[in-house]
Amino acid sequence: MDKTGSSQHLTYTDWTVRETQFDPDRFRSRETVFTIGNGYLGTRGSFEEGFSRALPATFIHGVYDEVPIVYTELANCPDWLPFVVIVDGDRFRFERGEVLSYERQLNLRQGVLSRRVRWRSPNGKTVDIHFERFVSQADEHVLGLRCQLTPVDSESAIEIQASINGYPENQGFNHWELLDQSKIEQGVWLNLCTRSSRIQLGIATKIKVSGTEASLQATNPPGYPTLTASFLASPGQTVTVDKLVTVFTSQEVDNPVAAACEKLAQLPDYSILFDAHAQAWDKIWQNSDIVIEGDVTAQLAVRYNLFQLLIAAPDNNDKVSIPAKTLSGFGYRGHIFWDTEIFILPFFIYTQPKLARNLLTYRYHTLPGARRKAVHYGYKGAMYAWESADTGDEVTPRWLPPNDFYGDDIRIWCRDREIHISADIAYAVWYYWQATDDDEWMRDYGAEIILDTAVFWGSRVEYDNNQERYEIRGVIGADEYHEFVNNNAFTNRMVQWHLEKALKVYEWLRNNFPDKATELEEKLHLTPGRRSRWSDIITNIWIPYDESTGLIEQFEGFFQLQDINLEDYEPRTKSMQAILGIEEGNKRQVLKQPDVLMLLYLMRQSQEPPYSPEALQKNWDYYAPRTDISYGSSLGPAIHGILASDLGNTAEAYERFMQAALVDLEDVRNNAHEGIHGASAGGVWQAVVLGFGGIQIGDNEPVAHPHLPPGWTRLKFKFFWRGKWHEFDLRSAKEIQQKVEVTPLAPSPDIRGFIFDLDGVLTDTAEYHYLAWQRLADEEGLPFNRQANEALRGVSRRDSLMYILGEKQYTEEQIQEMMDRKNRYYVESIQNISPEDLLPGVITLLDELKQAGIKIALGSASKNARPVVEKLGIANRIDAIADGYSVQKPKPAPDLFLYAANQLGLEPAQCVVVEDAEAGVEAALAGGMWTVGLGPASRVGAAHIVLPSLDGVHWTDLRAKLNNVAMQQQ
């Protein structure tokens, strides 16, 4: 099932993201979008040959180094991508020569990024270049890059240079010292060391050329070891160059260079490595995939977000965790926030529990840093850092430079006041334990986390003698627009919840592992008096609540702040804090993200106070309109989507869900260049499974209470609970079974939409298709002619190819290659299409329909329909496009036209389909639509109206004829 993305030249299918037009202004955000990785490292989607606006980066988990202002950051590691192509002396770059065709694709199922370019050099030589890269999921230390080069119009002397760039930068700062480099029999290697943390890195590479004879040589410019291959290639001759790379750091092995070189020497061919990598992804998706039917954009977006989480999760390292921007960008410097435990971790707990265990064990290893922070602030126990890195010490910047040259530095208070993270981590530990029954881990790791952070809360909470209650003053809650508040409801209730669970964990240890309980009693000073204080805090801590209204007050005094109507500030393109300023934002009832609603969401799963459906409704009505959900925090939309769905607000639920799901793919917040929004990606999984799927734990096993969004006909996923996999296959109550027979039409047509086929209706590209198929058939020695081509009208590319192949057997890989080749031939031939290629009568009819208020859609099986429409100059007249990317079943199934009608917001009986193919007419009739057939009656005679063409056809005439047909059917 396929669909064309709605904007920005991205095309979505069930498993792939395609970029069909190069846009240099979006280059850095697309580098993020096309990030690949394997849980050990992540590599941004930069071009192999380089680009002037590029921000290339490869990040390896745990490779931190000191940096001014922000304490420490993930160091940008050596770039393994550089691959220079020189054609008869002209270096291939997008800034030189002419790009004749372009497509980049990320295949989520296999974790592979590919790019096809047809490039004409300044000297007039045309060459097809196909890049493909993967970061092995089967062996995290192995990287693969393949380049296939095919001269198009003349013999070419080609030189390639495959290098390692030992001068990577973190936005101007280089963390690496060059130690050594050299050649080996298999290739070249490089040895570097971070300047402050002294982490060594060894990286090695080799190349293999196939398809021609080539001369190879190695050179060693300082910090830039390079392998060069030179060869001649004839027109149509494809030469393949495989670049294999191995990388290790001193965090895994004592001698990373030796490890890299040894592994490089043992590597099999690229294809074998790729197959192992693809098989590893198959295994991962078996448990983590989510199937959505009826909404291709949502299907792709969900898989995309899950992919980005999976490639950031460490499989073999429990001393690292997933940064807020994953391993995909420089945003937040690779620091870890509460994002991981509250937003990201549930996905792993319930689909990849081993990875969840690794992520939580990181918090155990960083307890010493949390203890140092507690001591620094004068408290006891473990006080987790708001931003954490390798040691667990606080690395949130104390100050940040201003946005303008003359402004004051900005004080960052989160490090001092946003303390709820210690309870958030305990929350994650508890729910991991509940889901997995991993008593061993809880005994050895989790219990100490929960108990020592409980010790911290015991020292942080204050007792107010006048009010006779416990309070927590001077904090920042989940909503960061208010930087100094007392008794934040979210924080206070989470602390209460934390202490409740700490007492339960202590009793569990005492009953089941008394030796461990004694050990922790001594280590953490868990005296009876301390545990008694926890009980007293649980009973007497204040949760701000207005009994008269049923509202939870976000913090003490929130209701006395100046109220605000966010609609008064629309339209806007920036956050309310940016509009109001920090101080003015503090004075108003405006939220950066859910706070009270976030608390209700976290208590929703267990139905613990203050959650109740009534409390949710009252507090939603108050807080949702005051939340800057569009430009505040990316953490908010998914949570709002779930709660809106709970409340039956389906339209807003879906809108917020898609806002989260597309935040990076469509750069919703204009900051995708900084890296993937990891918390939003995790929220997407929660929105689908816990929200739309309605998963709750009943009678000690997960039970679904689904409320699927409109259009979703099926939702399928797996859910892990206490050693058992539960598979859910949820269907919409309104699922409609498509019928093949003709659906009776209403006696009086209420026409509100027209759906036009493209080839043979609006323009005659059939000739271009024929010539492309004929060229392919000739190359493959297959019988084909114009008469055979008539059978391909309205038929999908795959079905057309299968018709041409006849009884001959081919592998799936060969079939895909031939489809791609035919498409390249077709795309080449339509480059010069213009408005002059519109068939007679088209513009007149389109304009008449527009003037009459009729909606217009394109319904074409072609996957090139969108660019053709743009070249024809009629894109502004088309309201919706359904093309070869939109549905799975081709004509004569009605799916394509039904999809188009849905995009127009119309019922099938309100639409007229204009077709020139028998299969298209059959599809329209099966969908219950009116049909106009263009061409001979022998081909389109089943249509309600048959015309030779659109020349001289007017809307008034068509309307009259349709009325006559309707009367005759009565």
Tally the residues of the chain: 970
CA distances from 316 to 120, 251, 607 (A): 45, 12, 35
| Amino acid symbol at 393 | D
Question: Which residues make beta-bridge pairs with 127?
Answer: 119, 151
| Amino acid symbol at 920 | G
CA distances from 524 to 365, 370, 382, 630 (A): 16, 14, 10, 44
| Amino acid symbol at 187 | G
Q: How far apart are CA 78 and CA 174, in angstroms?
A: 10
Torsion of CA 425, 427, 428, 434, to 10 degrees: 150
480 catalytically annotated:
yes
Strands (E), 801-863: 855-859
Q: φ and ψ at 142, to 5 degrees?
A: -115, 135
- Helix or strand or coil: residue 956? helix
Residue 173 gets which letter from DSSP?
B
- What's the count of helices (H) and strands (E) in the chain, helices before strands? 31, 38
Torsion of CA 527, 529, 534, 536, to 10 degrees: 170
CB atoms within 10 A of CB 234: 12
For residue 546, how many C-alpha atoms fall within 13 Å in the half-sphere facing its CB?
A: 17
Q: How far is CA 513 from the centre of its chain?
A: 43
| Amino acid symbol at 672 | A
| Amino acid symbol at 522 | E
| Amino acid symbol at 559 | F
Shortest CA distance to 316 belongs to which of 365, 357, 257, 276? 357
CA distances from 694 to 637, 645, 648 (A): 17, 9, 12
- Helix or strand or coil: residue 471? strand
Structure token digits, residue 449: 């986390």
For 183, counting Cβ atoms within 10 Å of its Cβ (0-12 exposed, 13-18 middle, 19+ buried), the class is middle
Task: For Cα atoms 59, 60, 62, give the angle at the middle one, nearest 5 degrees.
Answer: 120
Task: For Cα atoms 626, 629, 633, give the angle at the middle one, nearest 5 degrees.
Answer: 115
Q: Which of 480, 483, 521, 553 is catalytic?
A: 480
CB 217 within 8 A of CB 201: no
CB 148 within 8 A of CB 237: no
Using left for φ > 0, alpha for ψ between -120 and 50, and beta otherwise, residue 868 falls in alpha
Determine the angle formed by the axes of helices 596-604 and 613-623, rounding to 10 degrees: 150
Q: How far is CA 378 from the centre of its chain?
A: 42
Structure token digits, residue 79: 């770039």
680: part of which helix (H) or strand (E)? helix 678-686
Q: How far is CA 476 from the centre of its chain?
A: 30
Using left for φ > 0, alpha for ψ between -120 and 50, and beta otherwise, residue 39 falls in left
Task: For Cα atoms 291, 293, 299, give the angle at the middle one, nearest 5 degrees.
Answer: 60
* Residue burial 147-168, b: 16+ Cβ < 10 Å; e: rest: bbbbbbeeebebbbbbbbbbeb
Q: How far apart are CA 574 and CA 557, in angstroms?
A: 27
Catalytic (active-site) positions: 480
